């Protein structure tokens, strides 16, 4: 006769779902409270934190937006610049029809003399020259206003495309940021090409080809050495003077005489 298996008494455990959920949620709240950033109670510290946060967000937004534009300008020529729009809508100047010309079609002599007087280290620096900016700052302290900028060709191009001509240290700071971006994204030759095509050469006159057509009734490839020197001389003060009236200004007259001695026939 077979033996009956002895049944073991297994205790019945009742699972309380509500209590378990309470325990889990309490543990999660405890862990999150330990990781959360403590609130700043000091009003001065809170104000400083907000200022720093605003500055960081401003820089991120500014750099991202200008970088995006520069990536496009690496392959596409700007239809208009901030300076063009500024002159047209705030000064109500009539803009001459822009005539874009590739860098390879601009005579090497014109490129060389422009780099010589505007930015002798153009192909060696990375967009800014700290020593030149420091020297300009010291000179401005003597005059009591921002007269000199110490801008490289890259910084001038950054100002022409993105900023307005009103002089200030804040504008100079933004110039420097954009110049570093331009050097990293565009490269020297593209920067120089944009400079020659968007630099201001008179009221409503932008670009060297447009300037040649306006002043000499011919293209940049057809002008003679003296005409080229006059245009390059004019770059430092294109609004007040023309290619045949700058002799009244001592600085421009010195620029012209230097270029004649250096590049004249």
Residue 37, pLDDT > 80, answer no
Over the stretch 67-108, which tens digit does the pLDDT of each residue have?
999 999 999 999 999 999 999 999 999 999 999 999 999 999
Q: What is the pLDDT of residue 147?
A: 45
For residues 19-42, average pLDDT: 61
Residues 6+ apart with CB under 8 A from 195: 153, 156, 157, 160
Residue 132, pLDDT > 50, answer yes
Task: DSSP letter for 207, please.
Answer: S
Over the stretch 56-68, which tens digit does the pLDDT of each residue have?
999 999 999 999 9
How is 75-125 classified by DSSP, letter by letter?
TS--S--HHHHHHHHTS-PPPPPP----GGGS-HHHHHHHHHHH-TTTTTS
Residue 135, pLDDT > 70, answer no
Task: DSSP letter for 200, please.
Answer: E
Query: C-alpha angle 97/101/106, rounded to 5°?
Result: 130
Q: How far apart are CA 52 and CA 251, in angstroms?
A: 43
- Identify which has the larger pLDDT, 130 or 64: 64
């Amino acid at each position: 006769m077979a033996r009956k298996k002895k049944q073991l008494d297994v205790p019945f455990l009742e699972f309380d779902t509500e209590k378990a959920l309470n325990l889990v949620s309490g543990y999660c709240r405890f862990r999150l409270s330990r990781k959360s950033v403590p609130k700043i109670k000091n009003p001065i510290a809170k104000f400083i934190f907000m200022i720093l946060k605003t500055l960081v967000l401003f820089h991120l937004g500014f750099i991202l937006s200008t970088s995006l534009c520069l990536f496009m300008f690496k392959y596409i020529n700007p239809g208009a610049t901030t300076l063009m729009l500024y002159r047209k809508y705030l000064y109500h100047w009539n803009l001459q029809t822009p005539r874009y010309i590739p860098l390879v079609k601009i005579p090497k002599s014109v490129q060389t003399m422009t780099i010589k007087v505007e930015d002798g280290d153009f192909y060696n620096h990375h967009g800014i020259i700290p020593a030149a900016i420091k020297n300009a700052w010291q000179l401005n302290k003597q005059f009591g206003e921002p007269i000199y900028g110490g801008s490289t060709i890259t910084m001038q191009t950054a100002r022409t495309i993105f900023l307005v001509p009103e002089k200030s240290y804040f504008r100079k700071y933004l110039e420097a940021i954009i110049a570093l971006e331009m050097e990293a994204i565009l490269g020297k030759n593209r920067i120089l090409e944009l400079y020659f095509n968007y630099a201001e050469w008179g009221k409503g006159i932008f670009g060297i080809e447009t300037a040649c057509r306006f002043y000499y009734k011919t293209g940049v490839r057809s002008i003679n050495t003296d005409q080229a020197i006059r245009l390059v001389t004019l770059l430092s003060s294109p609004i007040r003077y023309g290619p045949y009236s700058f002799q009244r200004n001592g600085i421009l007259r010195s620029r012209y005489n230097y270029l004649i001695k250096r590049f004249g026939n």
